[in-house]
């Protein structure tokens, strides 16, 4: 698989839910800091997205789509000064796929939802994503809105296979949003997702993901990129946000964690699949990454 598919395939869906919102007047909904991913699509009207940290408020207009991969709390509101309701208290009383109404509705309408994921390494993977993915291009927004509307129909009127269909639709929605964000990213953006837009860095990431057990060195990775060792080291760190060998080690440990917990592979088998001939060397690297030994993690301490 390609690097984006590789990373997202390790996110094991635990639950998801989507509901509509029809609000008017002065309104605000507060979402506490939470794991998982939230997403919202505005159908009509406009509102503000206000993060709990110091980021400037973001104006969301009709057709806009925003993806929030975990992290700090935030508010959706008619204005930053409005006292908020607790979203986690408001929405549970509304059936999945249905619409919640505030102040009679008729002002701002849209749909929103969440994806929750299993596993300790899910938090690490989500931390690699941008804090806000904001899609504003009209053609891109239309495609995402149609995907959400189809998901809403599956939730509102379940049919045979709706559960599995919902899981596939949520994963497809996440992938499409990240693809679109990647296309529209700025040249100064850093992180593994943005590095995929760089042909040379994409080739290196693809090579690491295709052969995680290979005895990669900085020199051999530089050859994949067609660059000198020193130039490659600088460019990779600038593009991805960390040194190449650090990224490789972290990716190997994520693969190992998945194989230990979800595939029930023994440590003696996992170690060589991620580039370690010695179980002791693998164990030391794993403990540095997860704070516990592979054996402890495999027994469930890492979940």
> DSSP assignment, residue 84?
P
Low-confidence ranges of the chain (pLDDT < 70): 12-13, 118-128, 138, 184-190, 301-303
Greatest Cα pair distance in the chain: 65
Between CA 98 and CA 167 the distance in angstroms is 18
In this prediction, residue 161 carries a pLDDT of: 84
Q: ∠122-194-123 over CA atoms, to 5°?
A: 10
pLDDT at position 174 is 76
What pLDDT was estimated at residue 164?
A: 78
For residue 172, the model assigns a pLDDT of 79
Q: Tell me, what's the pLDDT at 302?
A: 45
> How far are the Cα atoms of 8, 71, 87 from residue 178, in angstroms, in the given order?
11, 17, 25
Q: What is the chain's length?
A: 303
Domains by residue range for the chain, with CATH = 3-183 (2.60.120.280), 192-301 (1.10.10.60)
Over residues 254-274, the pLDDT tens digits come to 899 989 987 889 999 999 999
Strands 12-23 and 28-31: unpaired
pLDDT at 303: 45
- Would you state the pLDDT for residue 56? 87
Say if residues 218 and 232 touch (Cβ distance below 8 Å). Answer: yes
């Amino acid at each position: 698989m390609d690097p984006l598919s590789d990373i997202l395939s390790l996110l094991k869906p635990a639950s998801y839910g989507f509901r509509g919102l029809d609000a008017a007047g002065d309104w605000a909904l507060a979402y506490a800091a939470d794991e998982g991913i939230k997403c919202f699509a505005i159908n009509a009207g406009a509102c503000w997205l206000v993060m709990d940290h110091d980021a400037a408020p973001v104006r969301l207009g009709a057709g806009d789509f925003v993806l929030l991969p975990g992290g700090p709390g935030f508010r959706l509101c008619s204005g930053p000064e409005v006292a908020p309701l607790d979203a986690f208290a408001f929405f549970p009383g509304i059936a999945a796929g249905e619409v919640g109404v505030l102040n009679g509705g008729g002002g701002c309408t849209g749909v929103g939802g969440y994806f929750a994921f299993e596993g300790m390494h899910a938090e690490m993977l989500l931390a690699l994503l941008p804090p806000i993915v904001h899609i504003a291009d009209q053609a891109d927004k239309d495609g995402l809105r149609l995907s959400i509307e189809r998901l809403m129909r599956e939730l509102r009127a379940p049919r045979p296979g709706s559960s599995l269909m919902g899981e596939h639709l949520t994963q497809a929605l996440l992938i499409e949003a990240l693809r679109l964000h990647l296309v529209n990213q700025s040249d100064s953006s850093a992180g593994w997702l943005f590095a995929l837009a760089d042909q040379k860095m994409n080739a290196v990431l693809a090579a690491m993901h295709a052969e995680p057990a290979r005895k990669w060195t900085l020199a051999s990775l530089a050859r994949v990129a067609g660059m000198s060792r020193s130039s490659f080291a600088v460019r990779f760190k600038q593009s991805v946000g960390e040194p190449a060998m650090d990224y490789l080690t972290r990716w190997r440990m994520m693969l190992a964690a998945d194989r230990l917990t979800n595939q029930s592979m023994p440590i003696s088998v996992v170690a060589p699949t991620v580039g370690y001939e010695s179980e002791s060397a693998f164990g030391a690297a794993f403990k540095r990454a997860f704070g516990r030994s592979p054996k402890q993690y495999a027994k469930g301490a890492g979940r």
